[in-house]
Amino acid sequence: MNNSIVTILRKAGNRIALFLSVLLISIAGFAQDTKTVDINVNSKGDGNFFSNPIVWVVGGAVFILLLVALLRSNRNNA
């Protein structure tokens, strides 16, 4: 009998926790601001360094070199 009371209380606790979680998530969803989307497309270019393709090529080359160096050092240790 004592075991059945514990399972009933555990199920009730799970349902209450689920209800409160869903309630808080829905409140957070309704609390979002409904401002219109303002997109500013600048076709002239700002001169940002990451818009330059050379930066992407150099970054990719550095990434590949680091990857090769890490993989080669792991092979020597094994």
- pLDDT tens-digit readout, 13-70: 999 999 999 999 998 888 877 677 777 776 666 667 777 889 999 999 999 999 999 8
Q: Which residue has the tokens 């349902």?
A: 15
**pTM for the full model?**
0.39
Residues 6+ apart with CB under 8 A from 18: none
- Here the tokens at position 31 are 């609390």
Number of domains in the chain: 1
Q: Is residue 17 part of a domain?
A: yes
Q: Is residue 53 part of a domain?
A: no
**DSSP string computed for 19-60:** HHHHHHHHHHHHTS--PPP-----SS----GGGSHHHHHHHH
Q: Is residue 1 part of a domain?
A: yes
The boundaries of the domain holding residue 10 are 1-32
Q: Is residue 2 part of a domain?
A: yes
Is the Cβ–Cβ distance between 77 and 71 less than 8 Å?
Answer: no
Q: Is residue 11 part of a domain?
A: yes
